[in-house]
Structure formats: structure tokens, C-alpha cells
Amino acid sequence: MERFAVLQLSGCAGCEVSLLNASGWTDRYQLEYMPLVISSDDVPDVDILLVSGAVRTDEDLYRLRNAASQAGQVIAVGTCAISGGVANLGNRQEVRDTFFTENARRHVPQLLPTLRAVDDVVPVTWYLPGCPPTPELFMAALEGPETFTAAKTVCRECGRKRTRERVDHLVRHRGDSVDPDICLINQGYICLGSCTRGGCGAPCTRAGHPCVGCRGPSNGFISRSSQEWFAAINKVFSRMTAIPAEDIDRELRSPQFALFVFQFADYAGAPRDVEKVI
């Protein structure tokens, strides 16, 4: 029975909850450490180390280096571990100013100059993107990526049909009716499924909620800049709708998407082997 541990860095524990929903591992893998349910002073030697959260503090840095040195393989789990996630907001100057103003009083771990992704500190065997990854994806990570093939994009898994209708205005969820069969872009919603990596099963778009890109860029965008991505998604909307380009661009940079869209710059800054992304 393979032994694995879950190291939680600066994050929200959403990945850990998703793992607990993946009950298929309980008879085949021995969970040795996960602060959410099993805690100890040190992470033991394990075959697989799942790392969630980002390297935001000096404590994160120490714990990651120490745990990775005793693991057979390291899997970066979730948006935070791969590209920063919500914790990356700490790189914003106003957030840093607030933190350092209160640092002496709160006695929290020392904030690093900038956030670092897991693979910027230790070698990573596999990447498991998502916010959080689905339970099925956790099983793929534990059993081996060869047991799972992700769709190229969320659009391929969505099942909604595209039409020739060209809506001329954006639609937001304010009681508007969502057609269960028609592509959300054709209905005027900002949906990033056309450039987001598949594998999640498209639960959001199937339920009528536009994709916000939490699985990260599809293979075609992993090594491209964020500006190239913005240009590409705008091209999708110009081809499928009559919505003004400035409205699309403004919405893409809004708080609704800010927690995920910025990750594309990280992918471009540290290109990753496509074959290692589950």
C-alpha cells in the first residue's frame, strides 16, 4: 500500500476537501499526514507528496523543502500551488502595505518578498490544476496519469451547442434565463471554456455558470503570454457575438475573473511540460 501525505501551504483547504470526497483511495493508499484531519510535528517519509497552497511565507518555504526531500514524488495540487491562486493577491502593493503595517502586532510568519509557485522551490513530478481539482482528478494523480485523459478544453466536455445568433450585449446572472442547450457565449455570457484545460467534466457550464478558467490554460496557451491569451479570447467573442471588444476586455479584467486569469502570466513565465499536467 503506497503512503502519501498532503502538505498544506498558504491556501484555503478547498483541495483537501475535494480529496476527502474522492473515497476511491481509502482502500489502496495510506494517508500519513494532512493537517485538516491528521497532524503531527513533521511530514513523514512517503511515496507521494501532494502539495496544496502557494509558497507565501518563510514557514511555507521551510516546510516545503523539508517535506519534498523525503518524498518519492511531488505533485503540485491546485491553482495556488501551480501558479499562485488567491494567495497571489498578496503581491499587490496595497495588500503588502496592510500586512507589513500589522505584522509586528499579529506575530504571523514572515511574508516572502514575492509569492513562489511550488516548482520554483522543488522539482515537481506532476501538476494537478483546478480550484479545486475534482475528486476524479485526485484519483488520476494517485493512480497515475496514464489512467486518465483530459479533454483538450472545457468546451469539449460541455455539450452545449453553438448557434449563429450574435448577441450584442453582455449578460450577467441577475435572474436572466439560461438556455440549457445553447453555448453560454452565444447567450452573452463571458465563458472561458474555449481556452481552459478540460478534465473537470464541465460541471459549471453544464449547470449554466460560465467557466472562469480555474483549470488553467489549455495546452495551446501554457507557454503563451497573458496578453496573447486576452487577444485569443477576444477573437472568440468577436467571431461568435457582436459585443463590443472593450466590453469584453473590461469584463475579463474584472474581480470575477481576476483570481484565475492572472495565472496565465505565471505559466508563460515558467513554461511547464504539457505531458506533466493532468
Three-state SS annotation for 42-53: CCCCEEEEEEEC
How many Cβ atoms sit within 10 Å of the Cβ of residue 246? 9
Residue 104 placed within a domain: yes
Domain boundary among 121, 148, 175: 148
Domain boundary among 148, 169, 189: 148
Residue 278 placed within a domain: no
Task: State whether 142 and 162 are in the same domain.
Answer: no
Give the C-alpha separation, 26 to 139, whole Å.
Answer: 11
Task: State whether 142 and 161 are in the same domain.
Answer: no
Q: For residue 176, is pLDDT > 70?
A: no
Task: State whether 184 and 259 are in the same domain.
Answer: yes
Residue 275 placed within a domain: no
Residue 97 is predicted with a pLDDT of 74
Q: Among candidates 8, 3, 1, 17, which has minimal Cα distance to 48?
A: 3
Residue 277 placed within a domain: no
**pLDDT tier, 261 (very low <50, low <70, confident <90, very high otherwise):** low
Task: State whether 125 and 51 are in the same domain.
Answer: yes
Residue 265 is predicted with a pLDDT of 54
Give the C-alpha separation, 41 to 196, whole Å.
Answer: 38
Task: State whether 183 and 108 are in the same domain.
Answer: no
Residue 59 is predicted with a pLDDT of 92
Q: Among candidates 17, 8, 25, which has minimal Cα distance to 140?
A: 25
Q: For residue 276, is pLDDT > 70?
A: yes
Residue 225 placed within a domain: yes
Looking at per-residue pLDDT, the higher value among 68 and 250 belongs to 68
Task: State whether 20 and 135 are in the same domain.
Answer: yes
Mean pLDDT for all residues in the chain: 85
Residue 108 is predicted with a pLDDT of 67
Average pLDDT estimate for 246-264? 75
Task: State whether 163 and 128 are in the same domain.
Answer: no
- Determine the residue type at 182: I
Residue 276 placed within a domain: no
CATH of the domain at 117: 3.40.50.700
Q: Is 203 left (phi over 0), alpha (psi -120 to 50) or beta?
A: alpha
Residue 268 is predicted with a pLDDT of 54
Residue 39, classified by CB atoms within 10 Å of its CB into exposed (0-12), middle (13-18) or buried (19+), is exposed
Give the model confidence (pLDDT) of 178-229 as tens digits: 899 999 999 999 999 998 889 999 999 999 999 988 888 888 777 777 778 7
Is the distance from CB of 212 to CB of 184 less than 8 angstroms? no
Task: State whether 24 and 137 are in the same domain.
Answer: yes
Task: State whether 140 and 219 are in the same domain.
Answer: no
Residue 174 is predicted with a pLDDT of 57
Task: State whether 15 and 129 are in the same domain.
Answer: yes
- Determine the residue type at 168: D
**pLDDT tier, 234 (very low <50, low <70, confident <90, very high otherwise):** confident
Domain that holds residue 52: 2-148
Residue 241 placed within a domain: yes
- Determine the 3-state secondary structure of 5 from DSSP: strand
Give the model confidence (pLDDT) of 82-113 as tens digits: 888 777 777 777 766 776 676 565 666 777 88
| Domain tally, the chain | 2
Residue 274 placed within a domain: no
**In which element (H, E) is residue 77 found?**
strand 71-77
Domain boundary among 116, 148, 180: 148
Task: State whether 200 and 175 are in the same domain.
Answer: yes
Residue 109 is predicted with a pLDDT of 73
Task: State whether 90 and 143 are in the same domain.
Answer: yes
Q: Among candidates 255, 2, 17, which has minimal Cα distance to 132?
A: 17
